[in-house]
């Protein structure tokens, strides 16, 4: 693969920087913000936006996984169970995209709809996480360990399909369900496990989209140039930003954008 540095667009780098800052300040997955931005503002096809964002996520979250692994905040058993569901589901979804044609109008339409629904689901999760966890905690507490493990694999399969089609869901949605399934696990280990699982998931899905020809490498490197320093600065500013207000604004924005894409 050769990189055409003339294809680097610094407008996209600025967008990557802004999204990176928001991710660093709120923890909301970059796909929830970047993918609709690429589709609605910059006019990329849904397939190209999703495929490029998947490889972008794999590269950026690798660094986070290294840090969490060094700090021993990854539960590798949870990661393995999630991957046992997500990787086969991802491969099957990619085969489906290949069978129907990754540039076909119908596939673009399906991806747009799934992306919209995923954004709405993410917005609901951000706004009502505490209520969801409180309502369902009693039910999950009574489940035996074997069923918890099976539920984790099923969650992985759901995320595999959702992320491959929309690049959204591995963050807010996955972490919320993991908190519900493993209430005694420290939040840091939940977050670390969720990020660690996102790396093989987004890498396999991204490579699959690359095989389908739906990766824009000029866009990918343009985003990385801006997002990497953006995430670092956003993470440093996180302690000074009113988290609840920012999450509420983000959730409302995602809900509106999701509705626009889904309808």
What does the pLDDT look like over 28-77, one tens digit per residue?
A: 666 777 888 888 888 888 888 888 989 888 887 787 778 778 878 889 99
The pLDDT score that the predictor gives to residue 167 is: 83
Q: Which residues of 2-37 are buried (b: 16+ CB within 10 A; e: fewer)?
A: eeeeeebbeebbebbbbbbbbbbbbbbbbbbbbbbb
Asked whether residue 96 carries a pLDDT value surpassing 70, the answer given is: yes
Q: What is the mean pLDDT of the chain?
A: 82
| Helices within 101-144 (DSSP H only) | 105-141
Q: Is the pTM of this model over 0.75?
A: yes
The pLDDT score that the predictor gives to residue 101 is: 65
Asked whether residue 87 carries a pLDDT value surpassing 80, the answer given is: yes
Helix (H, G, I), strand (E, B) or coil at 98: helix
DSSP 129: H
Asked whether residue 4 carries a pLDDT value surpassing 60, the answer given is: no
């Amino acid at each position: 693969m050769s990189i055409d540095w003339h294809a680097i667009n610094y407008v996209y780098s600025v967008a990557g920087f802004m999204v990176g800052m928001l991710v660093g300040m709120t923890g909301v997955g970059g796909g929830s913000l970047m993918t609709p931005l690429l589709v609605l503002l910059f006019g990329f096809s849904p397939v190209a936006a999703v495929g490029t964002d998947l490889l972008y996520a794999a590269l950026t979250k690798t660094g986070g996984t290294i840090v969490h692994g060094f700090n021993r905040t990854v539960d590798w058993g949870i990661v393995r169970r999630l991957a046992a569901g997500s990787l086969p589901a991802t491969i099957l979804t990619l085969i489906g995209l290949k069978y129907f044609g990754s540039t076909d109008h119908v596939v673009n339409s399906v991806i747009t709809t799934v992306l919209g629904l995923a954004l709405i689901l993410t917005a609901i999760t951000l706004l009502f996480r505490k209520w969801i966890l409180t309502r369902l905690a009693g039910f999950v507490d009574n489940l035996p360990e074997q069923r918890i493990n099976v539920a984790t694999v099923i969650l992985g399969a759901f995320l595999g399909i959702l992320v491959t089609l929309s690049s959204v869901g591995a963050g807010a949605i996955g972490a919320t369900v993991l908190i519900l399934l493993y209430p005694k696990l420290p939040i840091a280990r939940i977050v670390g496990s969720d990020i660690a699982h996102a790396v093989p998931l987004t890498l396999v899905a991204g490579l699959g989209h690359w095989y389908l020809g739906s990766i824009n490498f000029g866009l990918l490197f343009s985003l990385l140039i801006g997002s990497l320093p953006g995430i670092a600065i956003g993470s440093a500013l996180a302690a000074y930003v009113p988290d609840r207000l920012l999450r509420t604004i983000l959730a409302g924005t995602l809900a509106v954008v999701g509705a626009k894409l889904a309808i």
